[in-house]
Structure 1
């Protein structure tokens, strides 16, 4: 089932307009999430919204927004007042300009969304806007209101739809100078660069996200399964760093190391088969991502398995 749209409105290029819907292009829901527990009871901890002075609970309908202009002094702003300053971009993504993709500094990128026509009408107008951006090899820049704030959005064609990436405003991006000023101006020799380039060429490849594994997520799954099986978890030794004395020697050794093919990883040892009484207790978890993939492979509902 497709996720719910984060935003619905119109996409407009001059006089060409079409209804569109905006969907999140990424998800964090597949990652393992922890609850906070009371150590003494093992029960979940809940958070209550309370008055900072009295400590009494406050219901949602009694909570309003406030801006602190002085210590302890607030200006209340109601929902109706916020709606009064609603911008046109609340309901319409107006394309303001077209720029080269290389002009967009990566520091300004926030997160991507998928944009598609909303409903059965407007597909032709949507296609005109999409193919215009594609043919011109440009990125369309517009504005959209999400979570009550206006964002800059960069639109690019992707297959039959558009990808819209939210961009930061200049005041949200810190200057690099306050971090880079203390970096020493080191002269890199041609020999060093040649060796380093050789290592880069040996590691050359094509970006394929399917090759990357979330090792921390896998470690979490393994940790939880070990604890469910009653195993004692001991601390691991931290990795030991090497003290590089001769940079040229380190580069030469790196070149030799990359030239040597990596040994095949040893297959993991099979875990001991659990007894009948342990089967439910020791059933390993797979993590939300793996569980989602397994669920997609299961037979459709209504297909009964034969009883043993």
Structure 2
């Protein structure tokens, strides 16, 4: 089942219009996350919205947005007043122009969304817009209002739908000058470049996301499983960077370095035999998605606090 749409409205190319829905294309909900706890009691920390001067808690219906003019002066803006700032992009993604994909600076990319027809009507118009973008090998540029802000959105065909990537405005992208001005001008010799190119050729391949594992996420799961099993936690040695004295020698050694053999998948370890009362503690976690599936198959148990 697809998640709930973040936005619904219309996609329009000149006089061709169709109802569409916008869905998030990425998610971090499956990653390991932590709650903040009171070390003394083990209870979760709860955050309250309080008045900065009185310290009293403020109800949600009494909270309004305000623009700070100075330390003690704010201009209040109500929800109704914000809604009156009616932009056409609040309900319509109007395609303004078509550009080449390579013309979009990667620094302007924010996040991707899936765009598909909303409901049973408009599929023909959607297909016309999608295939036109595909045949022209272009990216369609429009505007859309999300979270009370207008964004530039770049539309590209993917399979039967469109992927819309939100783009930043120029004022949101910092100039590289303030970071790069102090980089020294270095003359790179042809020999160094040739050796470096040889290394690149040895490591050249295709980008396949499935080849990459989130090593930090795996380490977190391992840490939690060890603590659940009551095992001692021993700090691992941190990798040390080598002090490069002779750059040319480092390049030569890199070229001559043997290619590491492909890692062979290790057979799954047999589960440790649990004694009475240890079954729940020794059950390994696999990440949020698998944990949800497991929880759905068994009755809820009392929450316990464990520490190393």
Which TM-score applies when normalising by structure 2? 0.92
Per-residue Cα deviation, 1:106-129 (whole angstroms, up to 9, x for no partner)? 000000000000000000000000
**Residue of structure 2 in register with 1:33 after alignment:** 33
Matched, 1:118 2:115: no
* 1:154-193 matched pairs, under 5 angstroms: 154-193=154-193
Per-residue Cα deviation, 1:170-204 (whole angstroms, up to 9, x for no partner)? 00000001000111111111111111111111111
Matched position secondary structure for 2:125:
helix
Residue range with higher mean Cα deviation, 279-288 or 100-109:
279-288
> In structure 1, how many angstroms separate the alpha carbons of the residues matched to 2:110 and 2:125?
27
**Residue of structure 1 in register with 2:236 after alignment:** 236
**Residue of structure 2 in register with 1:53 after alignment:** 53
Give 1:285 shift: 1.0
Give 1:260 shift: 5.5
Give 1:71 shift: 1.3
CA separation of 1:180/1:41 partners in 2, compared to 1, >3 Å: closer, same or farther?
Answer: same
**Residue of structure 2 in register with 1:274 after alignment:** 274
Aligned partners of 1:96 and 1:140 also within 8 Å: yes
Aligned partners of 1:95 and 1:142 also within 8 Å: yes
Q: Unaligned stretches of 5+ in structure 2?
A: 298-308
Give 1:12 shift: 0.3
CA separation of 1:25/1:154 partners in 2, compared to 1, >3 Å: closer, same or farther?
Answer: same
Residue range with higher mean Cα deviation, 274-283 or 162-171:
274-283
Matched position secondary structure for 2:252:
helix
CA separation of 1:290/1:87 partners in 2, compared to 1, >3 Å: closer, same or farther?
Answer: same
Aligned partners of 1:199 and 1:258 also within 8 Å: no
Q: Unaligned stretches of 5+ in structure 1?
A: 300-308
Paired positions, count: 296
Per-residue Cα deviation, 1:207-247 (whole angstroms, up to 9, x for no partner)? 10011100000000000000011111122222122111111
> In structure 1, how many angstroms separate the alpha carbons of the residues matched to 2:190 and 2:92?
54
Give 1:248 shift: 1.1
Give 1:270 shift: 5.2
Matched position secondary structure for 1:47:
coil
**Residue of structure 2 in register with 1:306 after alignment:** none
Matched, 1:285 2:285: yes
Which TM-score applies when normalising by structure 1? 0.92
> In structure 1, how many angstroms separate the alpha carbons of the residues matched to 2:114 and 2:187?
45
> In structure 2, how many angstroms separate the alpha carbons of the residues matched to 1:142 and 1:161?
16
Matched, 1:217 2:217: yes
Give 1:155 shift: 0.3
Matched position secondary structure for 1:250:
helix
> In structure 2, how many angstroms separate the alpha carbons of the residues matched to 1:259 and 1:282?
38
**Residue of structure 1 in register with 2:75 after alignment:** 75
> In structure 1, how many angstroms separate the alpha carbons of the residues matched to 2:187 and 2:263?
37
**Residue of structure 1 in register with 2:199 after alignment:** 199
Give 1:289 shift: 4.3
CA separation of 1:280/1:158 partners in 2, compared to 1, >3 Å: closer, same or farther?
Answer: same
> In structure 1, how many angstroms separate the alpha carbons of the residues matched to 2:265 and 2:253?
22
RMSD: 1.9
Per-residue Cα deviation, 1:75-119 (whole angstroms, up to 9, x for no partner)? 000111111112010000000000000100000000000000000
Give 1:276 shift: 3.4
